[in-house]
Amino acid sequence: MDTFLILVNIAIMFGLIGILFYMQKKHLSFSKRVFAGLGLGILLGAFLQLAYNPDSAIVSTTTEWYNIVGRGYVSLLMMIVIPLIMVSIVQSIINLEKSAELGKMAAWIIGILVATAMAAAIVGISTASIFNLDASQIEAGQSETDRGIALEERLPTVEDMTIPQQILSFIPSNPFADMTGARATSTIAVVIFSIIIGVAVLGVRRKQPEQAARFIDWVNAVYAVVMRIVTLILRLTPYGILGLMAVTVARTDVAGILELGKFVGASYVALLAMFIIHLIVVGLFGLNPLTFLRKVLPVLGFAFTSRSSAGTIPLNIQAQKNSLGVHEGIANMSASFGATIGQNGCAGIYPAMLAVMIAPSQGIDPLAPGFIVQLILIIGISSFGVAGVGGGATFAALIVLSSMNLPVALAGLLISVEPLIDMGRTALNVNGAMLSGTLTSRIMKKLNIKIYNDRNAIEKDVSI
């Protein structure tokens, strides 16, 4: 009987995939198909929630099959991330008019990412205070206790890394190992290695133009092939979102969400507030914030469902270049750096809210000016540290809480709602990366305003 029900569930998935394929054949826009996949995935996940027990073998086996569509798509995106970063950055540097522009690009991108992470910390502190969040009010079950113990066991790996050591970990000692994602900082290491290659080609072009010309022709040929692969993979986005969302909703711990509803609500209020701040900043730079929002939504939809900033890099780059008119080199750097540095959701809002929640249990006033200033500065610095040790929001929380001399075990109380909150955090992280690219292009006068204002310039390459 269970096997029959599982086959029925799989058949339903194929039926929904057929609907999305039909929409593609009818040439409906990429954005509409992405949000159709999101909506159908929610409905399918809700059906599994209502029809079966979320912990049942039927749901477990069914979602394993669904993951072929969802996580399989994420794996394809991860497959192309490193080749895309390498060839795009090398080609972008080769096409730079002045090599000095490279340093300015990196400085503005990183500066904006860290500044917005610190602003996100202020939002997190304010929201936690307004909602009067207190970790001592949350009851700890066995799973929460186990999670807390696990966090304490992982703490030494974070505390043992100083800021200089974290910065040193960015430098690639074996770029081929970094291309396999061997380290938490592999993405940044590949970016740095690609920048060095690009700068070297500029030097060769001055002294040995014929040799440089051959290499540039090869890079352009590889770039064309890589971008074609990216286009083919991105066309699968609606199907990937369908699978990811169905699994997420089907496995959601509704009871845990209801129990921690106050924290979930406060988290999304903070995330929404920071999204609004992003749009206000866009407006302050003379750009239409609604245009920005409309063009980034398909990317944010995937980030929300996949919970993977790194997996969103190809979509992020394509949207910045084709939809927002961001300079190609800036788009590549901002998407790559933004996946690991200055994450507004994981490294900004989340650890700030946890610190404010936990402080009262240690007899500390979370609204004391000294505590707030220290917390904001630590979050700004540790936004680099997250990339240094890897692990996203969990490690960001470990770094910040340990630096503030607060117990990290209490962070384990939120294990049941982590996936739900992480979806919003990842979307905000990606939005911050796209914001940094757009503003940097605007500041350096490299933003194509015609493309930015073109209402139809939304992923034309993948809308077929």
Q: Which of 414, 416, 377 is nearest to 115 (CA)?
A: 377
pLDDT of residue 447: 94
Domain limits for position 152: 2-462
Helix (H, G, I), strand (E, B) or coil at 214: helix
Please state, in angstroms and rounded to a whole number, the distance separating the CA atoms of residues 358 and 102.
42
CA-angle at 299, arms to 34 and 193, nearest 5°: 140
312-334: b (≥16 Cβ within 10 Å) or e: bbbbbbbbbbbbbbbbbbbbbbb
The CATH number linked to 55 is: 1.10.3860.10
Please state, in angstroms and rounded to a whole number, the distance separating the CA atoms of residues 168 and 172.
9
**DSSP readout, 125-160?**
HHHHHHTT--GGGSPP-HHHHHHHHHHHHHHHHHHT
- pTM score of the predicted model: 0.82
- CA neighbours closer than 13 Å in the CB half-sphere of residue 456: 1
Q: Which of 356, 386, 360, 361 is nearest to 372 (CA)?
A: 356
- CA neighbours closer than 13 Å in the CB half-sphere of residue 227: 17
What is the amino acid identity at position 79? Answer: M
> Distance between alpha carbon 261 and the CA centroid of its chain, in Å?
24
pLDDT of residue 137: 58
> Do the beta carbons of residue 272 and residue 304 sit within 8 Å?
no
> Do the beta carbons of residue 341 and residue 383 sit within 8 Å?
yes
> Do the beta carbons of residue 380 and residue 114 sit within 8 Å?
yes
**3-state DSSP percent of the chain in helix, strand and coil, to 5:** 80, 0, 20
100-130 and 350-358 helices, crossing angle to 10°: 40
What is the amino acid identity at position 181? Answer: G
In total, how many domains does the chain have? Answer: 1
189 token code pair: 């290491």
Please state, in angstroms and rounded to a whole number, the distance separating the CA atoms of residues 24 and 9.
23
**DSSP readout, 343-408?**
-IIIIIIHHHHHHHHHGGGGT--TT-HHHHHHHHHHHHHHHHHHHHH--HHHHHHHHHHHHTT--S
The Cα-based distances of 124 to 119, 128, 409 in angstroms read 9, 6, 20
Q: Tens of pLDDT along the chain (464 residues)?
A: 588 888 999 999 999 999 999 998 888 888 788 889 989 998 999 899 888 877 788 888 999 999 999 889 888 888 888 888 888 888 878 877 666 678 888 899 999 999 999 999 999 999 999 998 877 655 544 454 555 455 555 555 555 566 677 677 778 888 888 888 777 677 788 888 988 898 888 888 888 989 988 998 998 899 889 888 988 888 888 999 899 889 888 887 776 666 677 888 999 999 999 999 999 999 999 999 999 999 999 899 888 888 888 888 888 998 999 999 998 889 988 988 888 888 899 889 999 998 998 888 888 888 899 999 999 998 988 777 565 444 567 777 777 887 788 877 666 666 656 778 888 999 999 999 999 999 999 999 999 999 999 877 665 545 54
C-alpha distance across the termini of the chain, in Å: 41
